[in-house]
Every structure is written in C-alpha cells, then in structure tokens.
Amino acid sequence: MRRRKLVPRPLPKDGGDLPPRLHPVLARIYLARGIRRAEELDYTLKRLPPPGALSGIEAMTERLAAAIERDEAILVVADYDADGATACALAVSGLRALGARRVDFIVPDRFRLGYGLTPGLVREALARRPDVLLTVDNGIASLQGVAAAKEAGLDVLITDHHLPGEALPEADAIVNPNLPEDAFPSKALAGVGVMFYVLIALRAKLRARGRAAEVNLADWLDLVALGTVADVVPLDAVNRILVHQGLERMRRGRLRPGIRALLEAAGRSLADLVASDLAFAAGPRLNAAGRLDDMTAGIRCLLSDDLREARTLAARLDALNRERRDIEAQMQAEALRILDSRDWEDGSAAICLYDPGWHEGVVGILASRIKDRTGRPVIAFAPGEDGLLKGSARSVPGLHIRDVLAAIDAARPELIARYGGHAMAAGLSLAPENLDRFAAAFEAQVAAAGIAADEVLVTDGTLEPPQFSLNLAETLRRAGPWGQAFPEPLFHGDFSVRQARIVGERHLKLTVVPPGGPALDAIAFNLDDPAAWLDCAQLRLAYQLDVNEFRGRRSVQLKVDYLEPLQ
C-alpha cells in the first residue's frame, strides 16, 4: 500500500464575501477552492462570456452560414471519446435546428485509421460528397489530413480544444481557445463546449440576417454537461456554469432520450443526478463504444429521438462497458505483475508499461489506474493495427505531460511518430523498436523536471461529530458541480472500527466511529486485498460524506478514498 500524507487545503486569511447563509463547512470548502465572492456562485447563463473573444469565430460562422444558405453538405468529423461523441451530436442536431438540411457525421475507426482527420479518413469522407468538413474535438494537429482535404477541393473548419503544435493546419477557420493569443477567458472548454460556443455565434449571425428560427440552444446543455465532465477538463467558472445548467435540466427531465437511456442503464435517478453520475455512469458507457468497437453507435444513441431505439443502443453500450471492465481488470493484474518484477519503488521518476496482448482502447484507463496507485506519471502501450505502438499517458500535478512529449520529440525526433494532448493526459504512437529508448528518454525528462512522486493527498480537513449529518451530506452533494480542478469535498480523520466485512469480492464495508461521534457506515471500493483490513481496530480515513439510499431510506455513508491502519 502506498502511504499518503493527508494535508488540509490552505484557506485564505480573510473569509471572503460569501453568503452568510452557507453552511460553515461548505463556506470553508468554497474558500479553499478560490471562491471569494457570492457572484462566483451564480451559475446562470447570463454569466457566460460572449463568444466574440474566440479567435476565428467570425470566419467559422461566416462559412457555416454560407453553407446553410447555399444548402451545402456539411460532414462533421468526430472523435471517438465521449467529448467527441457529444460534440458531434451537438453539431449535427444544432446545425439542423439552425437550418442546415444536409448534415451528416463520420467518426474514424481508431484501430484502422487512428485519431483525428487523417488522409485515410479524408478518402472515406469523399465518398459522402461533402462540401465542408467540420471537425469537433480534433483537427488542431491534423496538418496532413487538412492538406489532403483542401487538395480534394473541400473547405475545412476546425473546432478543437487540444493544445496546438508549432504549426497550425491550413484550415479555412479554426476555433480553439488554446490557440496562441486567443483572448477567450476560459482555456478549459471541452470540445463540446467549443462547439456550443460556435452554435451561439452562428445563431446570432443568422438572426442578424433574418434567417434563424427561434432556437433555444440551452436545450442542448445536457450534451455539453456530459461531454465536459466525461473529458475531465478543469471545471473553471465557465465549465461549472455549463455543467450546472445541464444538470439542472436533466434533473427536471429535460434531456434527450439517449442520455436518459444511458443513465437508466446505469441505474441512476434523474432527480438526484450530480456530475459524478455523468463521470462514472453515463460517460464510461459512451466511451466503451470508442474503446472497443465503433463510436458510431454512441453518437446514434445521443442523436436518437426515440426512447425505445435509444434504450436498445444504450443496452449495447452497457454490454461493451462490461466487456471493457473485464479487459481492464485483466490488464491491470498484468501491469501490477510487471511493476512487482521491476520494484517500481526504487526511485523511478516515471513508468512505461507494455504488453503485446493489451488492448489499445483500454490503455488510457490502465495508465490512469497505475498513476493513481504509484503517484508517478505513467504511459501504457499496446500494439496498434498499423504496426505502431499506441500509448496513453497520464500525469501527476505539476507535470505538463504534453510538454514532456514535446521536449522528447524536439531532442529525439526519430522516436515519436505522433503525439498530442493536454497537461494531464496525452496520446502518442511510436515504432516498437523505439520503445526502450523512448522509455529511457521519458524517465530522464520527468526526472529532470524535478517532480516528486505524488505522495500527498489534499483534503478539506476534519469534521466535528455533529457534522456527520445527512443534512450536510445532501448540502455538499447539491453544492457542485464538483470535478477536475474543483474537486469533490474530501475529509480525513481517525476512526475506531466496530465492524468490517467484504462485499462484492473487492469492496470493504465498515462500521466506524469517530472520537465522540456516532457510528457510521463506510465503504471502500475496489481494494486489492480487502481481507487485509478485516482485523484493523483503528483506521485513518480520507472520505467523502456521501448519501446512501437503500429501500427508500437515506442515510449518511462515508465513501472511502484512502485508508491506513493506526495500530
């Protein structure tokens, strides 16, 4: 077990100007996340920044408006993850609502064509006879694909949020808040968020020309919320508004049949829906299509207007997700055997893993699991159908993983075939014979960055006995949206163990008592060896104050993120 140091988040010296009616624990949580004023908790749509600051938005909307006016064929080029699927469904349905009659989509087969707008995908797209290619959640690194499309006589419009490289593709318009010198205040928009802003600006342009029907784009915020949360982008002020508004609509039953069906398949209640339900229930089922099969089924589920059809598609996605979990469990067991054979705690700064039997669609999840276990940046590789190894990287706080790959590529350009991504996650391809040299370069680059293993677990402090209440648990649940860079409240403390038993093979069910407090139910999920904890009389826990509902009864439950013995 990796021991963690539990450290409370620092609080500002002054108490800010938060509403006095806030529960004092919630006020403390907000202050620790940088919320200082009451208006920062105003999640109404009027607080969204206007789209005009996005560079390229004028050229983008001018070309889309012309395509609508000329009745041209628009082909949306999607990505094969949940952000790409939601962005695609948003683009297709939103453009149709704004008057585009000839809109279709294409999504690459990740195993055959790889990521983004490649020359191979352009060849397949030409069979659809489009006039305009519109990328969503991809394209900023597609220099060759854009060149191939332009050579074929197509106009190319790129909407993306990934970090650009040194060169930009020669597209007709690019909207990406992470372009150099782009003035848009949020750099954290997901691909679906970028597309939502494009539709806002396009509607304004069409209205100015007297062409747009009255379309309430807020009706698509369920898609925006799902894609934003599933892509694990930072929940900055803009993204919190988008996610909050999407969740509010979903709780009131204002959501498309496909998302309803995905949540039903996961057994989630709309009335109590929170961001974590999108992250851990709907998102993985949608992602499973792109990981193991073809994201077309996921996009069709999101686009369906018929609940019966959506439920059929959601059932297929649910089955794929169960298969994905089985594959992931096997890969994780193999990865742990590799780590044990290497004695990874010997001071290695970074970890590269590879097995010829691994599935390239699941290496991202594997890298994330091993990163959480070791506290080190991890890249997991699997063989791809094109003969290259496909790697997925996950980083730790303080280390920009895409910049690490860029530095390796600059120093050793022969090693990496292609790469791209964000600060905390990235993807890359390389030839099998380059793996050992790349692993050494990755280790050296991370070591040079001086980032220590992530051994600190930051919490929101401790709770007093009266604060272990259902009222506070429900208050915290409703107070989100919580997510990346705006984390769910996490507390820590020492507890006596009254009862412990194993449930579901890998979960530990506990009854614990804090000093001077009430007996509480607690559960720790997915432990490697839950039996090892059965005889512990005292435990130090890091936990979320959660709400458990069983047979209509709601009660407090501690959802344990970390535990260590005290005796």
Distance CA 430, CA 264 (A): 40
pLDDT level of residue 410 (50, 70, 90 thresholds): very high
Q: Cβ of 537: how many Cβ atoms within 10 Å?
A: 11
For the CA atoms of 8, 14, 16, 22, the dihedral, rounded to the nearest 10 degrees, stands at 60
pLDDT for res 287: 94
B/e letters for 508-536, b = 16+ CB within 10 Å, e = fewer, are bbbebebeebeebbbbbeebeebeebeeb
**Residue 344 confidence (pLDDT) above 80:** no
- The CA angle 118-120-122, to the nearest 5 degrees, is 75
> Among residues 394, 562, 375, 542, which one has the least CA distance to residue 455?
375
Supply 498's token pair: 């009254």
Answer yes or no: are the C-beta atoms of 99 and 123 closer than 8 Å.
no
Share of the chain above pLDDT 90, in %: 84
Residues 457-472 pLDDT 10s: 999 999 999 999 999 9
Count H helices and E strands in the chain, helices first: 17, 17
pLDDT grade, residue 45 (50/70/90)?
A: very high
Summarised one tens digit per residue, pLDDT across range 526-560 is 898 899 999 999 999 999 999 988 777 899 999 99
What is the pLDDT at residue 64? 98
Residue 506 pLDDT greater than 80, yes or no:
yes
The pLDDT, as a whole number, for residue 191 is 98
Residue 534's alpha-carbon distances to 82, 497, 503, 561, in angstroms, are 39, 9, 12, 17
- pLDDT score of 240 more than 70: yes
Task: Convert the pLDDT of each residue in 413-453 to its tens digit.
Answer: 999 998 988 888 899 999 999 999 999 999 999 999 887 77
For 371-398, the pLDDT digits (tens) are 988 889 999 999 998 899 999 999 998 8
Contact 107, 86 (CB under 8 A): no
- For residue 27 the two structure tokens come to 């006020």
Residues 6+ apart with CB under 8 A from 423: 395, 400, 401, 402, 403
pTM of the model: 0.93
Q: Which helix (H) or strand (E) holds 158?
A: strand 155-159
Q: Is the pLDDT of residue 216 over 80?
A: yes
Share of the chain above pLDDT 70, in %: 98
Q: Which domains does the chain have, with CATH numbers?
A: 5-31+457-565 (2.40.50.460), 54-317 (3.90.1640.30), 343-448 (3.10.310.30)
Is residue 455's pLDDT more than 90? no
Q: Does residue 345 register a pLDDT over 70?
A: no
User: pLDDT tens-digit profile of 395-408?
Assistant: 998 899 999 999 99
166 band by pLDDT with thresholds 50, 70 and 90: confident
Report the Cα 235 to chain-centroid distance in Å.
10
3-7, 276-280, 473-477 — which is least confidently predicted?
3-7
- 90-99, 372-381, 453-462, 471-480: segment of lowest average pLDDT: 453-462
pLDDT on residue 1: 59
Instruction: Indicate the average pLDDT of the chain.
Output: 94
**Residue 346's pLDDT is what?**
59
**Chain segment 279-327, per-residue pLDDT in tens:** 999 999 999 999 998 899 999 999 999 999 999 999 999 999 999 999 9
Contact between 534 and 502 (Cβ < 8 Å): yes
Which amino acid, residue 167? A
- Which of 163, 232, 227, 147 lies closest to 195, judged by CA? 227
Task: Give 15's pLDDT tier (boundaries 50, 70, 90).
Answer: confident
Please tell me the distance from the alpha carbon of residue 490 to that of residue 33, in angstroms, as a whole number. Answer: 12
pLDDT at 220 over 70: yes
What's the pLDDT band for 116 if we cut at 50, 70, 90?
confident
